Structure 1
C-alpha cells in the first residue's frame, strides 16, 4: 500500500512540475513577445510604403529609375536590360520602411546637415501612387547619414544602408546569365569543335553505387574506343560545369553584331549533355574572339540575346585539357 501511495504522490508531483514548467514557458513567451513589441513600437520610421512599385535616384548626375511590372523589376530607360531582381528587392525593402537611428527634433536647420543640397535624392512610389522623396545629406564620423523627407521639416539620422545600396551604377544592377547548375559528375557526353575538327566523348557508368565510369571516344559501342585514363575528361567535365560569366558587353545582340565578337565564325563550339534529376539536358557554348585586353573570350549560349565575357584561362583549359586523348 505504501509503495502504491508513493507512486501516486510521485505522479502527482510530476504533474505539478509539468504544469509549472508549461506555465513558466508560457510566461516567458509572453514576456519576450511584450519586449519585442515594445522594442518595435519604440522604433522610428521615416517611410511607410506597403508596396513599392518604383524607385529612382540620382548618382553622379545620372538618374537611375526602376519600375516593378507584373512582379518583375525593369529599368525604365531600357526594358531589355536584365535587372538583378534581388538587388532591387533589397532597395525596395529598405525604402518601404526606412528606419531612423533617431529623430532630430528641435535641432538645427537643413543646411547644418547638408540637406539643403542633398548628396542623393531617392524617389519612392507605392501602389497608391503616393510619392516619398528621401533626401540624403552629410555623413557622420560614425558612418551614419542625415536624411529627411522632402516637404517635411524634421531631419533624421539613419544608418549607411540606403546610401550604400544606392551607391551603384547601372552595371551593378545587371543580372549576368547563369549556366546550368550541374556538376562534372553529371556530364554524360562532351563535344568540342574547333574549325573543321570535332571531338566527341561519351561516358559510360559501370556501377552507380561505386561511382565507377569509363570514357569513350566517338562511341561506347567498342572497347577499342575506351579512353585509358579518365582523368583528363573528368577534369574537362569539371571545368565546363564551373564556367562563369565575368561580364556582359551586349545583352541584346542581333545577328548583324555577332562579327564584332568573333561569333559569326566562332573559334570553338563546346556542347555537353548532363543528367539532372533523371533528365538529360544539353548545353552549348560558342566561343568567339578575345576582348580588347585579351583577358576574356566573347561567348554566347545557344540562341541567347547575351554576349558574355568568360576569362581566357577558364576557356583555354576547356579547349586544351583533352589534348593527346
Structure 2
C-alpha cells in the first residue's frame, strides 16, 4: 500500500514539474516576443517599403547613372531594355533601399547645409506600385556613416556607409554574359570558315590537318567572354564593328558535348584601337572583344 502511495506521489510531482516547465516555456516565449517588439520599436526606419512593391530605381554613386524599371515582375535597364540585366542586382537594390534603418536620428539638429545635405553627394530614388517616389539624399560622412535625409521630411539621420557599397556597381557588372563551351582537340569535330565569299574547312578526321586542328582547338579553348564593347547591338550598328553580313567572317564550329554533336557559330569583325577583334556568337546581341592572337589561332592564320 505504501509502495502504491509512493508511486502516486511521484506521479503527482512529475505532473507538477511538467506544469512548471511548460509555464516557464510560455513565459520565456512571451518575454522574448516582448523584447523583440521593444527592439523593433527602437529601430528608426528611414524608408519602409516592401521590396516587391518597388517598381523603379535610379541612382549614381560615382559609376554612372543607373536607371532600372520593373514590369510584369522583370527588371530592365531603362535606357536600353535589351540590355542583358542580371535580375539579382535590382532585386538586391530594392531590398536595401526599401528598408533603410538609421544608426541614429538627429534631434533638434542644424540646417541641412551643416551636414552637406543642401548639395547632396548622392541622390537615390525609387518608385513604388502606387507611383510614390521616395528620394534619399546622402550628404557628408561622420565616423564612417552618411548623413541622410529623404525628400518628404527635414529629419536627418546617419546610416551605415555599407548602403552605398550595396549600390556601388557599374552597369557592366550587372550584365549576364554568354557562356562559351569547352572545346579542345579531343572534342573538336570540324570548323568551317567563310570569309569574302570563300570557304575553308578543317576536319578532325583528316590526318593531314592534325596540326591545324590542334592550333584551332587551342584558340577556341582560350576564348574568354568577359569584355564587351556593346551589350545589345542594333542591326544598324553592326557595320561599325565590321560585323554586318558583308564584312564579317563566319566561323562554324562542330564539337561534341556529352557524346552529342553541337554547333557554335562565331562572327568576327574589325578590331578596336588595342587590336582586339569584335566577336559575336550564335544569336547573341552582345559584341565581345577577343584578342587578335586568339582569333588568329581560331582562323588558323
TM-score by length of structure 2 reads 0.72
Q: How far apart are residue 64 of structure 1 and its match?
A: 4.1
Find the residue that maps to 1:99 and give its secondary structure. coil
Match in the other structure for 1:307: 287
1:238 to 216, 221, 240: 221
The separation in 1 between residues aligned to 2:252 and 2:238, in whole angstroms, is 17
Q: How far apart are residue 257 of structure 1 and its match?
A: 3.6
Matching of residues 124-139 of structure 1 within 5 Å: 124-139=126-141
Match in the other structure for 1:249: 230
Match in the other structure for 2:150: 149
Matching of residues 138-217 of structure 1 within 5 Å: 138-140=140-142, 142-167=143-168, 171-172=171-172, 175-180=175-180, 182-184=181-183, 187-193=187-193, 195=195, 196-201=198-203, 216-217=204-205
Kept in 2: contact 1:267–1:289 (CA 8 A): no
Kept in 2: contact 1:259–1:265 (CA 8 A): yes
Find the residue that maps to 1:217 and give its secondary structure. coil
Q: How far apart are residue 228 of structure 1 and its match?
A: 8.7
Question: Is residue 248 of structure 2 the alignment partner of residue 266 of structure 1?
Answer: yes
Q: How far apart are residue 230 of structure 1 and its match?
A: 8.9
Kept in 2: contact 1:251–1:306 (CA 8 A): yes
Q: How far apart are residue 225 of structure 1 and its match?
A: 6.8
Find the residue that maps to 2:257 and give its secondary structure. strand
User: How many pairs are equivalent?
Assistant: 270
Match in the other structure for 1:9: none
Change in Cα spacing, 1:100 to 1:79, as seen in structure 2 (3 Å) is same
Matching of residues 286-297 of structure 1 within 5 Å: 286-294=267-275, 296-297=276-277
Q: How far apart are residue 190 of structure 1 and its match?
A: 3.8
Change in Cα spacing, 1:200 to 1:42, as seen in structure 2 (3 Å) is farther
Kept in 2: contact 1:268–1:288 (CA 8 A): no
Change in Cα spacing, 1:167 to 1:93, as seen in structure 2 (3 Å) is same
Q: How far apart are residue 83 of structure 1 and its match?
A: 3.0
Find the residue that maps to 1:146 and give its secondary structure. strand
Match in the other structure for 1:93: 95
Match in the other structure for 1:52: 54
5+ residue gaps, structure 1: 1-18, 202-215, 219-223
Q: CA RMSD in A?
A: 3.9
Q: How far apart are residue 244 of structure 1 and its match?
A: 1.0
The separation in 2 between residues aligned to 1:303 and 1:234, in whole angstroms, is 22
Change in Cα spacing, 1:97 to 1:289, as seen in structure 2 (3 Å) is same
1:267-315 alpha-carbon deviations (Å, 9 max, x no partner): 4524243425x76542211111111231x21011233333322233443
2:264 to 275, 283, 289: 283
The separation in 2 between residues aligned to 1:228 and 1:247, in whole angstroms, is 31
5+ residue gaps, structure 2: 1-17
Find the residue that maps to 1:45 and give its secondary structure. coil
The separation in 2 between residues aligned to 1:190 and 1:43, in whole angstroms, is 65
TM-score by length of structure 1 reads 0.67
Kept in 1: contact 2:103–2:160 (CA 8 A): yes
The separation in 1 between residues aligned to 2:101 and 2:274, in whole angstroms, is 45
Find the residue that maps to 2:284 and give its secondary structure. coil
Match in the other structure for 1:318: 298
